[in-house]
Amino acid sequence: MTAPSPTEATAPEPAATPAPRRTFGLAAATALVMGNIIGGGIFALPATVAPYGTVSLLAFVVLSVAAVLLALLFGKLARRSPVTGGLYVYPRDAFGPFAGFLSAWSYWTMCWVSIAALAVAVVGYVDVLIPLHGNHALEAVVALAALWLPAAANFAGTRWVGVVQVVSTILKFVPLLLVSTIGLFFVDADNFGPFNASGGSTPGAVAAAAALLLYSFLGVESAAVSAGEVENPERNVGRASVLGTLGSALVYLLGTVAVFGLVPHDKLVNSGAPFADAVNAITGGSWGGTAIALVAVASITGCLNGWILMAAQMPYAAARDGLFPAPFAKVGKGGVPGFGVWAVAVLGTLLIALNYTAGPDTTFRVLVLITTFTGCVPYLLSAAAQLYWLAQGTRERVRPAGLVRDLIVAALSFAFSFWLIAGAGYAAVYQGVLFLFAGIPVYVWLQGRKREPAGETSTLSG
C-alpha cells in the first residue's frame, strides 16, 4: 500500500462547505496586492523614517528584496493550499490547529491595528485640504470617518471590492509614478541630510528603519489570503503577489528618493504630509500639494477598502474550522463576512479613541510598530510551514534545483521576518506579545466548548 503524503497524513479535515465563487482575475488580484501595499505607507512613512537619515533608503532596498521573497513564498504555498485564509491555513496544515489559531489571531490583530493606523494617516492629508488647526477631537473624527466609510462599502460584496481596488490603484499609481520620476529632476542633494541621523550604529539604524517600513509592504500576502476568491489561484496568486510587490517597490523607491531630495531634512522630520510638501517644492506653490493630498486620501481610502476585506476573511477561514468564534463565519449577501467587518471597524474605533490623545504622529508610529510584530508572526509561521513541507516530502518529488530554490526562499523569508521583529524594539515586541497572548483564552474557550457536549453526555450516561 502506498504511504500517505505528509499533507494527507497531518492536515486536518476541512469544513464541508460549498466551493467559493472565484471573482478576482489576475488583474484584480494584482490590483488587490498593490492597492493594499500602496496606501498610507508611501504617503506617511517618509516623514516617519526621516529621523534615521538617508540610511532609510538602504532599508527600503533591503525590505524590497524581502518583500519579493515573501511574495514568492506565498505563491508556492498557495499552490499547495489554494483556499481563502492563506497565512492561517499554511501553519494549521503543517503544525496543527493551535499554530493555525496563533497565526490567524496575530494576522487579524495586525489587520485591525493596521487599519487604525491607515485611518490616522489620512488626517495629515485632509489637513492640507481642510485645515484642522491641530484640533485633536476633529482629527479623531476624520480618522473615524476614514475607517467607517470603506467598512460600509465592504457590505456591497467582494465583486465591488475588486472593482474599487482596480480603480483606486490606477488613480494613485499613475500620479505617484509621474511625481516620483519628474521629482527626480528637482532633487537637491543638500536636502537629503546625514546618512545616519540616529546616532547609533548603521546596522541598528537599518533594522529600526526597516521595522517601520515593513508597514508599507504589508499586503504582499493579499492574494494568498484571498486565494479562495482568485481565479486559477495555483497560477495567479504567485504571479499577482510578485507583480504587485515589484510594482509597489518601484513606486516606493522612486517616491521616497524624490521626497528625501525635495524636502529639506529638518522640515521632513516634522512633516504631516511629506508628499504634499514634495509636490509644492516642484510646483513652487500650494496647488500641487492640494492635488497630491486628494490622491493620498483616495489612495488610503482604497487601501482601507481592501484591508477591511482581508481582516474579515482571515477569521472567516478560521471560524469555519472552529478556531474562531462562530459569528465570524457568517457571510452576507454580497459574499463578505459581515461580522468580521463590524468587528474590525469597532476595534479600530476603540484603538483610535484610546491612542489619539498622544497626537496623530505619535499614534501612527506606535500603531505601525505593533503591526510589525503581529504581521511578522504569521510570516514566520508560514515560512516554517514551507520548510516543514520541504523536509517532509518534497525532496522525492521536486528537481534538486527547484528544491534548493524553495529552501533558500523559505529560509530567507524566515530570517528576514525574525530580523524585522528584532528591529521593532522592545516596546513593540512587548505590546505585540500582549496582543498575541490575549488570544489564548479565546482558543481555550473554543476548544473547551467543542469537547463539552461529549463530556456532558458521558457524565450523564454514567
Question: Which pLDDT does position 158 carry in this prediction?
Answer: 57
| pLDDT reading at 231 higher than 80 | no
The proportion of the chain whose per-residue pLDDT surpasses 70, expressed as a percent, equals 80
Per residue in 156-182, pLDDT tens? 665 666 666 667 667 666 667 777 888
Q: Give the domains, in start order, of the chain with CATH numbers.
A: 20-445 (1.20.1740.10)
C-alpha dist (Å) from residue 452 to 42, 101, 310, 457: 49, 20, 32, 9
Strand partners, 84: 226
Q: How many CB atoms lie within 10 A of CB 437?
A: 11
Query: Rounded CA gap, 218 and 224, in Å?
Result: 13
Quickly state the pLDDT bin for 107 (edges 50, 70, 90).
confident
C-alpha dist (Å) from residue 326 to 195, 305, 449, 452: 51, 24, 12, 16
Q: State the cell numbers at 28.
A: 484584480
Max CA-CA distance within the chain?
A: 85
Q: How far is C-alpha 208 from the chain's CA centre? A: 18
Q: Which of 17-31, 242-256, 443-457 has the highest mean pLDDT?
A: 242-256
Write down the pTM of the prediction: 0.75
Query: Rounded CA gap, 209 and 310, in Å?
Result: 26
Question: Which pLDDT does position 7 carry in this prediction?
Answer: 37
Contact 273, 127 (CB under 8 A): yes
Contact 184, 261 (CB under 8 A): yes
Handedness of CA 175, 178, 181, 182 (dihedral sign): negative
Per residue in 406-446, pLDDT tens? 889 999 999 998 988 888 778 788 888 888 999 999 999 88
Contact 443, 98 (CB under 8 A): yes
